[in-house]
Amino acid sequence: MRMARVTVGLDRGVHARVATQLCECAAQYDSSVFLRTHRSASAANVFDVLALGIARGDEVTVMADGTDERLALAAVVEFLTADPHPGMQSAD
């Protein structure tokens, strides 16, 4: 089992569309993927993911267990921490 603690970077957190995309991302792998905030949820179940109420800036522990756990963990971590505005640069 592998795990990583991340800060959610998604602008609107994990709402219905994003939860569906997250579940689709996790489903690409043979490994079981779980998210943990105040409780745990399978990343394979959109309703469980939504029930976590994940908002931008929340700390989430991502856990993956299985034959491709390293790849699954990396994909879900990248999804949750994605730059909400790729290509935009801050004005210095």
| 3-state secondary structure string across the chain | CEEEEEECCCCCCCCHHHHHHHHHHHHCCCCEEEEECCCEEECCCHHHHHHCCCCCCCEEEEEEECCCHHHHHHHHHHHHCCCCCCCCCCCC
85 a catalytic residue? no
Among the listed residues 1, 5, 11, 15, the single catalytic one is 15
- Sign of the Cα torsion 50, 47, 33, 25 reads negative
pLDDT tens-digit map of 3-59: 999 999 999 999 999 999 999 999 999 999 999 999 999 999 999 999 999 999 999
What is the pTM assigned to this prediction? 0.88
In the chain, what are the domain boundaries? 2-80
Under CATH, domain 2-80 is a member of which superfamily? HPr-like (3.30.1340.10)
